[in-house]
Chain A
Amino acid sequence: MRIGDAKQSYEADEAIWKSSTQKVWFAVLLLVLAVFPFMADAYLLYLGCMVGIAVISTTGLNILTGFTGLISLGQAGFMGVGGYTVAWLSANSALPFPVTLLLAGLLAAAVGILVGLPSLRVKGLYLAIATLAASVFLHFIFAEWESVTGGMGGLSLEPAHLFGLSFQNDFEMYFIIVPLAVLMVFGATNIFRTRTGRAFIAIRDRDISAEILGINLLRYKLMSFALSSFYAGVAGGLFAYFYRVVTPESFPLSMSIFYLAAVIVGGMGNLLGGILGAAFMTLIPEALKLLTAALTPFYPNAPIFMSPMLEIIFGVLIVGFLIFEPHGLAEIWHRIRRFFSLWPFKN
């Protein structure tokens, strides 16, 4: 039984896995993720892929909002840039998916840098409005630049491909989306073990102090925007491959709010929080439907009355989290871990 966690070096303090127990549990998680598609039905597989995409995008937004303190309502727009890039490349080139996804991320990052420029002058709600404006502008481009984006009708895509393999269905897409999600979360974890990541956190905590400490605000704020948009671009590219169609209405403003809510509900400035928030926001509406399904045999009109009710319950759950658990799902998870790490010696 492990009852303590003494660290004897800075390396140990900065290690991703603090103990061998964590390594074992992470290996178990990877095993579960690997076995999942072989056990799950089409519906669960679909939800698994959706959560994977949401985790990537939420992690990106968490870097910007949770760790750097820059609020953005442009995440859906950046995802759109990624989605359209993949769709356009799919129609006009034979590039394999790793290249198209990389280009999608890079183009979204470039757009993110442009959108991030106002962050040097404004922050808080003003920045939220600036990013909202960018989102509207991007939506306008998606809808009107017909020769590239297909206008309101959007673009259809061929399946993702690599070395002659074609990834046509959810089962096959799972093996792109989930490994990529794991890799990108792992990448984000590493960022916060470096000077760059710590600079983001310093800017979030007090940007003037950070500047006095020698952190170049211009460079790091834009870098945060670029990284966040890169994640969104890749998520958008996966979204496009997953649904095989993109239209301007695929990336509505409500999607940006969805990801912001996922970051807040999960726990801002906590990567695990981003993952839990993305899973919560994606799965809870589906889980709430089970309530309707349970009532329908006894009360056939249950779907009509329960459907709007579920929206309210979902909203109440989010508000409840904000009031009673402001540090998000991550804090609940940490409490559970603390309980078990000391169990049975707690009392």
Chain B
Amino acid sequence: MFKSILDKSRRLVGVGSMAAALAAAAPVMAQDKEPIVFGGSIPLSGVFAFAGVHLHAGLTDYTTWINSEGGINGHPVKYVMEDTGYEVDRSVAAFKKITGSNKVPVYYGDSTGFMKTIASELNSRGTTLMSGASFATALTDNEQYPYQFIPGPNYSQMFGIILEYIATQGKDGDMPTVAFVYSDTEFGKDPIENGKAKAAEMGIKVVEEIVTKPGSVDVSAEILKLRRVRPDFVVFHGYVLSPINEFMVQMRQMGLDTQFMGTFWSSDKLIINKMGADADGYMGVMPYNYYDSAESGPMLDALRATAEKSDPDAGYRPTGYMQGWFNAMVWTEVIKRTMDAGKELTAENMADSLASIENWDTGGIIGVPVTVQDMSFPVGRIWRVNAKEARYEPVSDWIHLD
């Protein structure tokens, strides 16, 4: 009895081994090739950890997925990261450590400060292309930052997309009025001048500008200023949550019918989770489809399947996850294009490959084919909170800035 079971098992193991050997032939070949390293200074702790853990998950899951697809042109992908605590010196240390012990063609930077700081080294090395958590307008200056790109629209372009949407909302031929509320940080001030110029060009009147500390709670005096000018739209920038919630709740209590909008980092579910029904109607500009949106596409479906597999209990994946995944997607595309052109993976060759991206189908991560302009993807869509459904729903078509 025992012998027959053993024989049967051996036969099964034999058949299984043959099948496994055949099935694994391609990955085995892929393993023979040198791995391509995705490097990253990731803020798993510190003030940006709320996004960092999801960025990390997005990058990790993408790596799993691309390896399951045979890697990049047969090269397996290895994701090497270190926590930075969202501190520039620790991010630089992580960069030095990771690039010192690996050949790293692409790297994830965790902040504008780090990406600016590392730029001179990046330029002199000429080996690594970088993108990351930052959408800073300054990083799209090709002269100063030739090897850094933005995985979406930069903050000025986000304002451009918001203003394009606002321009369609006028009544009786009048352009709506707008107020800008932003934080007293480099992040907060980034798009303001360009935003004002764009508004002036489009004939939209900026009736008030308010600067606050990030995370402010007592903004009563600022709200009174807004009550005086009664803007049709208030655009927030440079915040994650507070004081957006304060402005919205208090202004609505005053009976104002102002509509509220925000940019990437303030357009996730945190607002819905913290504000509940009060979040209803808040609008954000988002370059990617939300994880729980009704949209689909081969890559978006693969993302959802991989996310589900890696952590079945996690449920909704925040926008940071989408951003991490999309970053890695762009890196893959850039590396593929460079390899297919028979070129070495230098920063310059990869930057050229990036610049050659035109009408690229992202498989549903972004709803329309995208084209790189000045090292960014100037496309996005306006989404509005449906508090009852606890999710964002699109209220505009995809807006591509020229």
Which positions in A face B, CB cutoff 8 Å?
A: 41-43, 45-47, 50, 143, 151-154, 156, 168-170, 243-245, 247-250, 285-286, 289, 292, 303-304, 306-308, 310-311
Contact = CB atoms under 8 A, between A and B. Distances in A.
Contacts of B184: 143
Contacts of A311: 45-46, 85
Contacts of B144: 156
Nearest to B57: A304
Contact of B113 (A168, A250, A286): A250
Interface string B185-210: 11001100000000000000000000
A245 B186 CA distance: 14
Contacts of B178: none
Contacts of B75: none
26 contacts: A41-B101, A43-B96, A43-B100, A43-B101, A47-B93, A50-B89, A50-B93, A152-B186, A156-B144, A169-B124, A243-B92, A244-B120, A245-B120, A247-B116, A249-B113, A249-B186, A250-B88, A285-B90, A286-B90, A286-B93, A289-B82, A303-B44, A306-B83, A307-B85, A308-B49, A310-B83
A43 B97 contact: yes
Given A244-B120, A248-B186, A249-B186, A46 B92 contact: yes
B81 interface: yes
A43 B113 contact: no
B356 interface: no
A42 B44 contact: no
Nearest to A289: B82
Given A289-B82, A303-B83, A311-B85, A247 B113 contact: yes
Chain A interface main SS type: helix
Sort chain B's interface into a size bin: 35 or more
A250 B88 CA distance: 8
Interface string B74-87: 00000001110100
Given A152-B185, A304-B56, 11 more contacts: A41-B100, A45-B96, A46-B96, A50-B89, A151-B189, A247-B186, A249-B113, A303-B42, A311-B45, A311-B46, A311-B85
Contacts, number: 84
Contact of A154 (B45, B90, B116): B116
Interface string B103-130: 0000000000100110111001000000
A295 to B, nearest CB: 13
Nearest to A168: B124
Contacts of A46: 92-93, 96
B131 interface: no
A289 B83 contact: yes
B119 A245 contact: yes
Contacts of B251: none
B83 A292 contact: yes
B219 interface: no
Contacts of A151: 189
Nearest to B187: A152
A46 B41 CA distance: 15
The interface centre, meaning the residue of B45, B88, B92 with most chain A CB atoms within 10 A of its CB, is B45
Chain B interface main SS type: helix
Contacts of B189: 151-152
A290 B96 CA distance: 15
B125 to A, nearest CB: 9
Interface of B: 42, 44-46, 49, 53, 56, 81-83, 85, 88-90, 92-93, 96-97, 99-101, 113, 116-117, 119-121, 124, 138, 144, 184-186, 189-190
Contact of B96 (A42, A289, A292, A306): A42
A68 to B, nearest CB: 28
A245 B116 contact: yes
B134 to A, nearest CB: 13
A224 to B, nearest CB: 28
A303 B94 CA distance: 13
Closest 10 CB pairs of A and B: A307-B44, A307-B83, A152-B186, A43-B97, A307-B45, A42-B100, A43-B96, A244-B120, A46-B96, A42-B96
A152 to B, nearest CB: 4
A326 B235 CA distance: 51
A168 B120 CA distance: 9
A18 B30 CA distance: 64
B92 A303 contact: no
A161 B306 CA distance: 52
A76 to B, nearest CB: 13
B143 to A, nearest CB: 11
B363 to A, nearest CB: 26
A84 to B, nearest CB: 15
Nearest to A293: B82
The interface centre, meaning the residue of B117, B124, B189 with most chain A CB atoms within 10 A of its CB, is B117
Contacts of B97: 43
Contacts of B82: 289, 303
A243 B99 CA distance: 17
A146 to B, nearest CB: 11
The interface centre, meaning the residue of A151, A244, A248, A307 with most chain B CB atoms within 10 A of its CB, is A307
B196 to A, nearest CB: 15
B384 to A, nearest CB: 30
Contacts of A286: 90, 93
A46 B100 CA distance: 11
Given A169-B124, A303-B56, A308-B45, A153 B119 contact: no
A243 B117 contact: yes
A311 B96 CA distance: 21
B104 to A, nearest CB: 12
A285 B46 CA distance: 13
B74 to A, nearest CB: 24
A307 B110 CA distance: 15
Contact of A153 (B42, B44, B186): B186
Contacts of A43: 93, 96-97, 100-101
Contacts of A143: 184
Contacts of B116: 154, 156, 245, 247
